[in-house]
Structure 1
């Protein structure tokens, strides 16, 4: 007989977790404080898990994608039928040339991003790009330069940068309520079997590895709460037989003496757990990539405070809403790419230290 007090099992993977979050949100009225800027016409490149989540997220808001392009047209047609997408493009060039499309969400593998970014931005489209936004800092610098040249917005879709919970916590931290942030500790581990080393997690030709797949979440959260970019970084990384990083331990320190301690693995299950330690409290966040709640434990008396903001099921809506706000002139939303650039600089540096080089970088 099952123990009634037993904690329910967590979803086994990110897709299952997202499905559960959508299910929890779909029967509730969509909030009127998410999409507050003028609406853009969106298209998506790619038809994988994230693209489907994006379409489902928009459906929660009563919106639909205007177009889809994919390497395989048959998949694009099936995607369009499933989600009520108006246009299917035979090529990405047709998408770039469509004057009715304002913004594009790139959801393809990491190593293809820069190719789509170059063309889409040069065509005058605003772009929201799935993590990891590029392979390295040089590629991101190039993409940002193209965006500036053509007067369009480039935004990183890493959910950490867009969840309302972090805006609330950052505002309280900035007010001095928490005191100084001294230490950020972040874990992220998933278990990917070795059975098929050609899958995207272990395949060096698909820019696999822990850093670009999951490290981007941990480092983004760490950087958000640090006063400045870390200048000292020490680490150890273990490589899989394919040459990608399988696990890593990272310690960072910035000029203000704030420390970040990060552990990553794609071959062992770990909790997605963050602890941000301040003078007056520590903040604990579980399942932090799309978190909508956190617990504050106050140093003076051990009192526990629960903070909630946003809804996990709307994670991709928050990303798209931030791009629309940035296009409308919101400086805070536009500045998110600066945090993304700092994170990319760290990831590029760490992969170099570990000897992880992708074919496109050779």
Structure 2
């Protein structure tokens, strides 16, 4: 596989993890950018970054860079994605790729016009266990998929000033952790939901603290989803069909799935399947992104992100919750 030069925007904890993955897969991190010169210097020394930029725009303009990785807060993603695509760079962006569907549709269109790969950093899209589970479903072993249940709950420290609770930074459970739950659900639905029922409890800053969400598509497949940011929940997903169900724990970086077959409704049999290594989740992301670039298409990942972005925006619309930049042109 061809070696590609990556440039990282941002030097937070996820950028540190991605730099480790890049060093493992590619042997180096070509470039990093952060206006905070001290943080950038520390990052570059620790991760052995070849080139540094205090102005991300200058890094984006570097003709030697093939792929831009965006690891900033949500609110900066849209602008950096547009700049990178317009500079002819492929883009791998952390979730949530944009803060609303309008922004997503614009960058999706731009990527297609430029003939560039745009991919969102949901680890579950790249974990090997999901191919095994989808193959099992496609082979009919679970029958017709009817119901998906998925939870994600974090216990964030009470701090109204933290970005997780800051409306100006697109805070709230939905964009921070709900994207993972929604991506899990969409992975196993045959089409995007067209009906959403939901209830929300808001945090004092006006962002969503916890919510319950029920979705259904025209195939009558249903999703029941529970999100919370002030109460821990297991990261657990269950996909149920007419012949059995599969349980996936720690689903963002899952490596195993427990299957229960119930084809005659009276007896059960069980199977466990395994694949991958959770410690290599970001390495799988790097490998897949480079494969997408090499082959010239993304195996349908941008379509999945399109549906997730639209689902998340529909949920917020149902709540009547807007971010300050939702109405910007």
Partner of 1:28: none
- The 1-side partners of 2:306 and 2:26 are apart by 33
| Correspondent of 1:359 among 319, 324, 329 | 324
* Deviation sequence 1:257-283 (CA, Å, 0-9, x none): 111000000010111111111111110
- The 2-side partners of 1:354 and 1:241 are apart by 15
Partner of 1:318: 284
1:299 aligns with 2:262: yes
- The 1-side partners of 2:212 and 2:223 are apart by 11
Within-5 A mapping of 1:231-310: 231-300=194-263, 301-310=267-276
Partner of 1:214: 177
RMSD: 1.3
* Deviation sequence 1:192-239 (CA, Å, 0-9, x none): 132x21111101111100000111011101111011111111110111
Partner of 2:147: 183
* Deviation sequence 1:292-326 (CA, Å, 0-9, x none): 11111111442221111111111111122222111
Partner of 1:199: 162
**Other structure's SS at 2:247 match:** strand
- The 1-side partners of 2:292 and 2:113 are apart by 16
| Correspondent of 1:82 among 46, 55, 60 | 46
TM-score, with length taken from structure 1 = 0.87
Bigger drift between 309-318 and 335-344 goes to 309-318
Unmatched segments (≥5 aa) in structure 1: 1-36
Contact 1:323–1:334 under 8 Å retained in 2: no
Deviation of the 1:63 alpha carbon: 2.1
Contact 2:153–2:229 under 8 Å retained in 1: yes
Partner of 1:14: none
Contact 2:142–2:240 under 8 Å retained in 1: no
Deviation of the 1:247 alpha carbon: 0.5
| Correspondent of 2:119 among 150, 155, 161 | 155
Deviation of the 1:356 alpha carbon: 1.9
Structure 1 212/79 Cα, relative in aligned 2: closer, same or farther at 3 Å?
same
Deviation of the 1:172 alpha carbon: 1.6
**Other structure's SS at 2:32 match:** strand
| Correspondent of 1:116 among 66, 80, 83 | 80
Deviation of the 1:102 alpha carbon: 0.3
Partner of 1:345: 310
**Other structure's SS at 1:44 match:** strand
- The 2-side partners of 1:151 and 1:330 are apart by 8
Partner of 2:108: 144
Structure 1 214/350 Cα, relative in aligned 2: closer, same or farther at 3 Å?
same
- The 2-side partners of 1:98 and 1:354 are apart by 42
- The 1-side partners of 2:212 and 2:54 are apart by 44
Contact 1:44–1:104 under 8 Å retained in 2: yes
TM-score, with length taken from structure 2 = 0.95
How many residue pairs get aligned? The number is: 324
* Deviation sequence 1:89-121 (CA, Å, 0-9, x none): 131121111111100110000011001011011
